[in-house]
Structure 1
């Protein structure tokens, strides 16, 4: 074996810059270890003596001694009377992989919704992104600093599921006043965000093969959580009054879980009517089903007062209420919450404690301080005004530049709007073309379950992080994108 060629190839594959920064003795060890694992140096092979190999490679003998000794310590080689020999530890492997034997992902994840690339966070119109430059970072930093200053050694470990009563009390008080939720702190469970809460609901509140109703089109995160828990998904259509199950749905596919976004349906923006809400509670109670109410951006209703939550419309409603601080504050905070039915709370909280280790108590203490000091309410009030102004600016710009190309639909709330494409071009083609124009244009059709996209051809446009002054220019870019995609579609 030509060790010099082997070392040269190893350094070339790893990159010259990287190998130049690694000490010589480490490079020699890495190279020999990789060659043994790949089978380039076979089991039972006697390595050259360190003095001879050092001369061949033009390296210091001490560097080779280090590499040989480390390989021996890890069991890759044995030092014997006849020299250093590669150990027999079952490293021989077939050089070819038979068809069908390569590792694959499970079937349950095949239909999951894939998130966009990380760079999307920097581009206009990404749904769900708040106005990050408007967040009171200095006030938040002071709350975090106070939390660390007051922290003890016990705060550095894992939290119990019922820890941090201060934050749970603050959340319960906020929900009672602002959302009409009927709860106390014992029913509140702090999570690592809405997705974490959905995963817990799917695993703890239903059995594999139980039926879960989801809005169609609807939130991909709920679809992913339910698929991962092996639930059977039944798509329920959405109309102007929200989730619209028919008698046949209750009769033929009675659900265990019903996922809804009633205050601002995601992604269409419909607001569930009071009649529809009360009917859903009654039907779910009769069927023994649990409603999972995702109230992800209900704080931002641009006309009139925010509607009360479904959870608060009836005593002991069969509703698990989900909320998040990612939209109101900032996504990296990764703190959300669940409000559980009173009879279910004790058992669920014990189970959740077994399913999920808790940490990040400093962030939670800082959040409780942020809420109690009034910073949260003041920030929320400012954001309501700001998002209403940004939505109005976007709608005006779309009317000026895209009349005949797009039609806005849904209620006026939240941080995104849905718009139907009125020309003959697929929304997925417009989405792809948008990247060339520096835009995130989420196609509407992929929000539907596979095979149910008929009739849904549009875009979901987030405006939370888009300054009002940029709306006109971005609308013109959007017009160019749709026209480009239309021409390309005709050519194909």
Structure 2
């Protein structure tokens, strides 16, 4: 029989030191268990060592024998020790002595390559501050109506609302969304084509997982939404940025010689410039994508808040079975914390996607989804949208007047839709420095260059100013303060 090392309590200082009587240090059993684990992992109790006799350890540490017995049983249960007729011995743990040695600096080579290619595109700052882009008027949300919808939906569903749901989302909500999109956005869809996701970001990631392979090309707007760039990077796609002008994304004819697999656009309200994609460009994009087998991701950002003329219908409904993956969210229409988005799949893509979706997704957030279905079916959603359109129209006008009074001469982009305006700055002003200084002064304006893959260019230097979460009477003093920040921030 192989000789075993016998370790006594006195040879291990961790075990011979009295236990802490302070309750904040934990119970005596917890302290003793932690000491044994640390001694084993640090190598002070090597494999094969016999643990001290329970009676002698009790006497030395002044603890009850049941406490020591419970600790030994837990060590055996967790695999730190093994018990036999000769007693309790330390188990053989590979690399135990070095298990918790921390490297001197993080080992970046252990991360995936896609992580190293991702660069920060945004600094959210304090989203409770005024002028935050993309933040709706949360204090105007009909909270009582929402609570009633939650209560009614829970009573109707009963305990089954706590179970797993349909992987594609609650059927009642998918039906409500499909009905709304057909009427309000001109989308050609049935409830079976709607997939519920974790916000718009979840829908974008799902588009990449379903319709693109690593190494394939993907196009996006520049400046544009940083979340889609992150989704494309996560899918190991080859990204190409396309410029944006007053009519939306600009795609040179020669670019189609090396066609993409995915093209992301925000046609109803380009984020962050506010441009609306013109009809000729919409139709050409659909035609070109169909010819080369590409998919268009239509991110219908802020389309519900159209402030001039009639709403511009979605691209998805322009032609039958367009190669369009339609993405939407309730983060701006209701509240960001809801985290419910959706993806409308073309009928031509559905047959192959359904089996994959059943494996990729798991039904969840049932209570929120059922409440939202009730909220929409009862007409509360439509009434809330109507109120918010009027409110945001008034707030945008107040912001424009304040900009005209205190920042005259600066070019203003956008305004047909949405919750923000973009003010263009000359190149000799650093928008990131101005944004940082404005935040210190209590205003959370965004830097336009943070949305661009090629910052410090004339088309990507400016301030993105939100008006959704700011009351009309605040704009004059806030923009006056912003003008002071601009003067103090200096040029260059």
SS in 2 for 1:121: coil
* 2:7 aligned with 1:2: no
Hey, what does 1:454 align to over in structure 2? 457
1:305-343 deviation digits (Å, cap 9, x = unpaired):
211111111122211111111110111211122222222
1:172 Cα deviation (Å)? Answer: 1.6
Q: TM-score, normalised by structure 1?
A: 0.88
SS in 2 for 1:364: helix
1:58 Cα deviation (Å)? Answer: 5.4
CA distance in 2, matches of 1:384, 1:138: 20
1:325-369 deviation digits (Å, cap 9, x = unpaired):
111011121112222222222322332222111222232222111
Hey, what does 2:294 align to over in structure 1? 289
CA distance in 2, matches of 1:42, 1:115: 50
- Quote the RMSD (CA, aligned, Å): 2.9
Hey, what does 2:135 align to over in structure 1? 129
CA distance in 1, matches of 2:338, 2:60: 56
Hey, what does 2:195 align to over in structure 1? 189
* 2:312 aligned with 1:307: yes
1:139 Cα deviation (Å)? Answer: 0.8
Q: 1:224 to 1:415 in 2, by over 3 A?
A: same
* 2:158 aligned with 1:147: no
1:93 Cα deviation (Å)? Answer: 2.4
Contact map agreement 1:7 1:31 (CA 8 A) in 2: no
Contact map agreement 1:263 1:272 (CA 8 A) in 2: yes
1:350-396 deviation digits (Å, cap 9, x = unpaired):
32222111222232222111111110000000000111112222222
1:121-174 deviation digits (Å, cap 9, x = unpaired):
322233222111111111111111111112245443333346633322221221
Hey, what does 1:419 align to over in structure 2? 423
Q: 1:93 to 1:310 in 2, by over 3 A?
A: same
Contact map agreement 2:14 2:35 (CA 8 A) in 1: no
Hey, what does 2:354 align to over in structure 1? 349
CA distance in 1, matches of 2:404, 2:42: 62
Contact map agreement 1:151 1:362 (CA 8 A) in 2: no
Hey, what does 1:264 align to over in structure 2? 269
CA distance in 2, matches of 1:111, 1:6: 50
- Give the stretch that moved more between structures: 29-38 or 55-64: 55-64
Q: Which runs of 5+ in 1 are unaligned?
A: none
1:72 aligned to which of 76, 81, 96:
76
Hey, what does 1:390 align to over in structure 2? 395
CA distance in 2, matches of 1:39, 1:400: 73
Q: 1:271 to 1:96 in 2, by over 3 A?
A: closer
1:227-263 deviation digits (Å, cap 9, x = unpaired):
1111111111101000010112112x31111110011
Hey, what does 2:233 align to over in structure 1? 227
Q: 1:437 to 1:85 in 2, by over 3 A?
A: farther
1:117 Cα deviation (Å)? Answer: 7.0
1:68 Cα deviation (Å)? Answer: 2.9
Contact map agreement 1:190 1:338 (CA 8 A) in 2: yes
Residue pairs, 1:442-481, within 5 angstroms: 442-449=446-453, 451=454, 453-455=456-458, 456-481=460-485
Hey, what does 2:330 align to over in structure 1? 325
Q: 1:319 to 1:232 in 2, by over 3 A?
A: same
Q: Which runs of 5+ in 2 are unaligned?
A: 1-11
CA distance in 1, matches of 2:450, 2:113: 19
Q: 1:102 to 1:199 in 2, by over 3 A?
A: closer
* 2:254 aligned with 1:248: yes
1:483 Cα deviation (Å)? Answer: 3.3
- Give the stretch that moved more between structures: 472-481 or 300-309: 472-481
SS in 1 for 2:465: strand
1:272 Cα deviation (Å)? Answer: 1.0
1:446 Cα deviation (Å)? Answer: 2.3
Hey, what does 2:5 align to over in structure 1? none
Contact map agreement 1:217 1:445 (CA 8 A) in 2: yes
1:115 Cα deviation (Å)? Answer: 7.5
Alignment size in residue pairs: 478
2:213 aligned to which of 202, 207, 211:
207
Contact map agreement 1:113 1:220 (CA 8 A) in 2: no
CA distance in 1, matches of 2:466, 2:38: 48
1:299 Cα deviation (Å)? Answer: 0.6
Q: TM-score, normalised by structure 2?
A: 0.88
